[in-house]
Chains A and B, each alone.
Chain A
């Protein structure tokens, strides 16, 4: 169906390329990692697999945020919460898989519960010994939370800044809640010390490679889904809500329905990203709920270019790669760099890297066509004045580029 929609709308070349690249990476990286000998130049070392597997999860999270922010105008400062909830669902499954190999050897209770003197498994841990149930929860828990939250918020027309602040309050409340030991999620240590997933050792190179491939394929799938939604009539409505919510309502649409849909789908994507992230990093703890993390996701999306599909993916990978490099090379400068990035991007790159590129391309195309027109009658004139192309008019040429929010 997705393929059909994509075909009907004509697949954007850029999206087709990125999907192709991701699928190729999903196939090649495991082969290069596992089959190629370690001394070969083509060998992909284990830490690179783990690192980029993590980046791909971040990219999926950024794509999820882009769907609501870039296309629907909802700036969520709480997407880290959905990511962490998905992660916790997966973490609970992995905890149950430890079985009696924990430090205390209790076949039923995870170590931290034995440590806290819990006598029996809390009800919300039931079912997590089954992978299918955990996988279902990865989707259902963030999705349900987002649905309830969105339904309440959008129905009462909480918009703009207020919505951003209450999403931040939501993730902050969850942060505090998950820090509590009596919540039954391991308190501030979180869930860790995982042994195996679906019967395979989490630490084994083959499992790591498989997780990398799964992340790449999942990202490719959601790029396709997002592209098909954005290209559809629903996507046009989302953009309409983003640019002129009242007008959309007056025309007869229900913006809250569109927003709830986008918000819920986005939360599900974030939850899946979190679920893929946890087995690769081997831990999930409440700090994933920290409001600062969610804001960082916003900057990945902003740098890559909101309102574009591959922008956030690029942004997430670039920023995190820079973070890994900086924190290793100049740990004390990372916050300066990140802070500077926030300021610079909002001031100079409001459309992000991809948006800027598109704008330059559009300008260039306009300029060449103008030049062609002008060159035809009077050959040999002075260098032509480049026409001033304002952001607005350039954006108008590209239908799906995010415009700045209307002034409140």
Chain B
């Protein structure tokens, strides 16, 4: 009996080898299905199932599913296989095509039996079956599953799928999964060596885990090869980590840029130390909150676009508050920069308390719109959409300001006032107007920065306080009166911060950056890009 089984199995393997993985025409599938019908005992059924799986034809999904649920029946008379719905009579449908095949009496049919081992085998076969599916995303998922649970049995199916695959990324993924499967198979050393080389070339953490697992069980030359692969991957990962830090740094830098750029204008052009700058950011964030709640109340369908609507409104609101502060307080204090510092600090206290009285002291939630949530991976980099949007947005704001300052008449007047206020006044520029609108512009920009920052942090009355010192650091580091200095300052501080963090921790890293800025100011008291002038006390 056992000997019989053995010969049958060998025969079947031979048949599989003959048919080959690509042979998927209906006739041969039906032949294999018939084998299912004639199989005696679970091992034979399993062999037939695997044979079906090796065909890689999506059509076998239906009979296999039916088998796994116990709905696959064989007609005693001609050994034909049907998917069956049980009732008083059996409702038959063709196993491969699903076509209606009438009804039959229970007595004429036998059910193909199934057990858990068989179900597992079916699941495996279905997994490799999707490798040959028409949906690229499904193929990718299948390859990922195989990568996470490498199985030597999946190698033939993977080989078949790789041969047919047209999508380069999916193909690469399949090859990686095949390499992972090779490492757990009993294939010869040369194959395993090639697989190690392929995995090491991937340089991902996943490959590192597979290789580490392999290294602990292997011996001899392969072990050395795996160890070499591991160190190679580690080297690649260090480079990716550095890249990730640069990305985090750019992301932090863009936040700093947004927070500081308005300050660069007010401080640079007017010499006003605007301590209420952070509160302009806060006003922008609260405007976003109010706009969002209004949209939620009146047009819930537009909620995803409330952020876009908040941008101009925040600019106008914060800009108006800025102009009010300039006209009401600051214009009386020109020429006394240190006193503008005190007065604007007072304004910031009042604004904070006002917001706290109106909106309450607790954090307010601004939701991320759909197009800003989630993220994607670029190689080993994890990039979230909201950070990417903020980087793009900060650069956009920067470009806009650069345009205003360098290409418009107003920008020309602004720069003239920066460089020589009295000369500009004598040339007929109305410096008070330039002052008021420049302050309004700076505050408005801070307002739209608040819209962006509401996406990555809490909206609370203290929101501005968190940014004010950093913004001053950026402006002072970059140099007053030069937008490029602010850009460079923001990004270099952001990146320096993120590079120090892994070694020194977040807080110590920040302290080091602060100390470095203090020392830098000793070297260049006017920042990176200082305005050149002839005055002794510029």
Contacts and interface: CB of A to CB of B under 8 A. Distances in A.
Contact of B341 (A164, A173, A404): A164
A176 interface: yes
A327 to B, nearest CB: 13
Contacts, number: 142
Contacts of A389: none
Contacts of A3: none
A332 B357 contact: yes
Contacts of B346: 299, 338-343, 346
Q: Most chain-A CB neighbours within 10 Å: which of B343, B515, B523?
A: B343
Say what secondary structure dominates the interface of chain B: helix
Contacts of A164: 273, 338, 341
A156 B525 contact: yes
Interface string B494-538: 000000000000011011001101110111011000000000111
A246 B517 contact: no
B6 interface: no
Interface string B270-301: 01010100000000000000000000000000
Contacts of A406: 335, 537
B400 interface: no
Q: Most chain-B CB neighbours within 10 Å: which of A176, A179, A292?
A: A176
B337 A408 contact: yes
Interface in A122-166: 149, 152-153, 155-162, 164-166
B32 interface: no
Nearest to A160: B337
A259 to B, nearest CB: 14
B342 A342 contact: yes
A298 B537 contact: no
Contacts of B353: 332, 335-336, 339
A224 to B, nearest CB: 28
Contact of B350 (A170, A302, A336, A405): A336
A372 B523 CA distance: 59
A339 B522 contact: no
A162 B526 contact: yes
Interface string A334-352: 0110111111011100100
B333 A173 contact: no
B339 interface: yes
A340 B353 CA distance: 11
Interface string B351-378: 0111011000000000000000000000
Contacts of A405: 336-338
Contacts of A288: none
A21 interface: no
Contact of B329 (A168, A291, A347): A347
Given A153-B522, A339-B350, A408-B271, A161 B537 contact: no
The 4 A-B residue pairs with the shortest CB-CB distance in the complex, in nearest-first order: A342-B346, A339-B349, A339-B350, A407-B335
Given A164-B273, A169-B514, A407-B336, 13 more contacts: A152-B519, A153-B521, A156-B521, A162-B526, A165-B472, A169-B469, A336-B349, A336-B354, A339-B345, A342-B342, A342-B343, A347-B329, A408-B337
5 contacts: A160-B338, A335-B350, A336-B349, A339-B350, A345-B342
